[in-house]
Structure 1
Amino acid sequence: MSEPRLGAAMDVRFGATVEEFLTHLTDMGLNHVELKREYLHGHPDAPDAETVGELAEQYDVSVTYHAPFRDWNPGSFNDAVRQSSVEQVRRTLDDAATADAGAVVLHGGSVPRRYPEWVRATARENALRSLAECAAYARSVGVPLCLENQPRDEGKRRYTTTPDELAATLEAVDVPPESVGVTLDVGHASVNGEEWEAFVDRFGDRIRVCHLHDNDGSADRHEPLPDYEPIVEAVPADYFVFETKSVADVAACVGADPEPLETAFRR
Structure 2
Amino acid sequence: MSVYINLLPFMKKINDAPAFLQDWGGGIEISTDGPHWHGDTDWAQEKERFASYAGDIGVHLPIWELNLASVQFPQYAAYSFEAYRTYLEWASTFASHAVLHTHLYNMPLFHREEAQALSKHYIKQLGDIAEQKGIMLLVENVGFHDKMLFDEREFVQLFEEIPAIQALLDVGHATINNWDIANVIEALGTRLSALHLHDNDGENDLHLPIGAGVTRWNEIWQAVAEQTHSLRLILEYDESASLEVLKRHGNELLQAGKVVGKINV
**In structure 2, C-alpha distance between the alignment counterparts of 1:195 and 1:250, rounded to whole Å:** 30
1:209 alignment partner in structure 2 = 194
Query: Is 1:170 the counterpart of 2:166 in the alignment?
Result: no
Shift of the 89–12 alpha-carbon distance from structure 1 to 2, 3 Å rule, reads: farther
**In structure 2, C-alpha distance between the alignment counterparts of 1:230 and 1:250, rounded to whole Å:** 23
**In structure 2, C-alpha distance between the alignment counterparts of 1:244 and 1:139, rounded to whole Å:** 29
Identity score, percent: 24
Report the Cα offset of residue 201 of structure 1. Answer: 0.4
TM-score, normalisation: structure 1: 0.76
1:244 alignment partner in structure 2 = 237
2:101 alignment partner in structure 1 = 107
Report the Cα offset of residue 12 of structure 1. Answer: 7.9
**In structure 2, C-alpha distance between the alignment counterparts of 1:67 and 1:41, rounded to whole Å:** 15
> What secondary structure, in the 3-state scheme, does the structure 1 residue paired with 2:210 have?
coil
**In structure 1, C-alpha distance between the alignment counterparts of 2:67 and 2:184, rounded to whole Å:** 24
**Is the 8 Å Cα contact of residues 73 and 82 (structure 1) preserved in structure 2?**
yes
Per mean C-alpha deviation after superposition, the further-off stretch among 8-17 and 138-147 is: 8-17
Report the Cα offset of residue 150 of structure 1. Answer: 2.2
Shift of the 234–213 alpha-carbon distance from structure 1 to 2, 3 Å rule, reads: farther
Shift of the 24–186 alpha-carbon distance from structure 1 to 2, 3 Å rule, reads: same
1:137 alignment partner in structure 2 = 129
Report the Cα offset of residue 241 of structure 1. Answer: 1.4
Structure 1 stretches of 4+ moved >6 Å: none
The partner residue of 1:63 within 57, 69, 72 is 57
Report the Cα offset of residue 251 of structure 1. Answer: 2.9
2:260 alignment partner in structure 1 = none
**In structure 2, C-alpha distance between the alignment counterparts of 1:196 and 1:81, rounded to whole Å:** 32
**In structure 1, C-alpha distance between the alignment counterparts of 2:242 and 2:145, rounded to whole Å:** 25
Shift of the 26–197 alpha-carbon distance from structure 1 to 2, 3 Å rule, reads: farther
Count of residues in correspondence between the two structures: 238
**Is the 8 Å Cα contact of residues 97 and 143 (structure 1) preserved in structure 2?**
yes
Query: Is 1:23 the counterpart of 2:10 in the alignment?
Result: no
2:5 alignment partner in structure 1 = 8
1:74 alignment partner in structure 2 = 68
**Is the 8 Å Cα contact of residues 5 and 32 (structure 1) preserved in structure 2?**
yes
**In structure 2, C-alpha distance between the alignment counterparts of 1:121 and 1:136, rounded to whole Å:** 23
| Structure 1 vs Structure 2 CA RMSD | 3.0
**Is the 8 Å Cα contact of residues 9 and 241 (structure 1) preserved in structure 2?**
yes
> What secondary structure, in the 3-state scheme, does the structure 1 residue paired with 2:47 have?
helix
1:158 alignment partner in structure 2 = 149
Shift of the 233–168 alpha-carbon distance from structure 1 to 2, 3 Å rule, reads: closer
**Is the 8 Å Cα contact of residues 11 and 35 (structure 2) preserved in structure 1?**
no
**In structure 2, C-alpha distance between the alignment counterparts of 1:193 and 1:124, rounded to whole Å:** 21
> What secondary structure, in the 3-state scheme, does the structure 1 residue paired with 2:50 have?
helix
TM-score, normalisation: structure 2: 0.77
Query: Is 1:86 the counterpart of 2:78 in the alignment?
Result: no
- The one-letter amino acid paired with 2:63 is F
